[in-house]
Amino acid sequence: MPLMAASAFMAMQSANTQARGLAAQGAYAKLQAKQESLKYKQNAIAVLDNILQTSATITAKAAMGGVDPFSGSAQALRDYALSKGVQELYTVQEGEIIALAGGRMQAQQYGLQATAARQAGIASAIGSLGYGVQMQQSIGGPGGATA
C-alpha cells in the first residue's frame, strides 16, 4: 500500500508540475500579445506623425505658391491625405485589438489545459490508490475477506 500511495503522490506532483508549466506558457502568451500590441501602437504613432507631416507639407507648399492653404484644392488635398491616414490608423488599431484578443484566447486555452492536467493527476492518484486497496484486499490484507 505504501507503494501505491507513493505512486499516487507522484501522479499528483507530475500533474501539478505540468499545470504550472502550462500556466507559465499562458502568461508568456499574454506577454507576447502585449509586445505585439506595443508594436501596433508604435505603428499608430508613425501613422499620426505621417498625417501631420503630410498636412504640414501641403499647407507649406500651397502657401509658398501664393495659394490659400486652407481652402480650395489645397484643403481638398489635405482632407484626402487625412482620410487615407485615418483609414490606415484604424487598420493598425484593429491589428492591436486582434493581437491582444489572440493572446488572451491562447492564455485561456493554456489555463484549460492546466486544469485538465490537474484533474488527470487527481484521477490517476485515485486510480492508483483504488488499485492498491483492491490488490491488498485480493491477497487478504486489511479490509479483505478472511477465511
Spell out the SS3 assignment of 2-62. Answer: HHHHHHHHHHHHHHHHHHHHHHHHHHHHHHHHHHHHHHHHHHHHHHHHHHHHHHHHHHHHH
Mean pLDDT of the chain: 91
**Pairwise CA distance, residues 68 & 51, whole Å:** 20
Asked if the model's pLDDT at residue 141 lies above 70, the reply is no
pLDDT digits (tens, 9 = 90+) for 29-44: 999 999 999 999 999 9
Percent share of the chain, pLDDT over 90? 75
pTM for this structure? 0.72
In this prediction, residue 147 carries a pLDDT of 47
| 97: nearest Cα among 29, 41, 27, 31 | 41
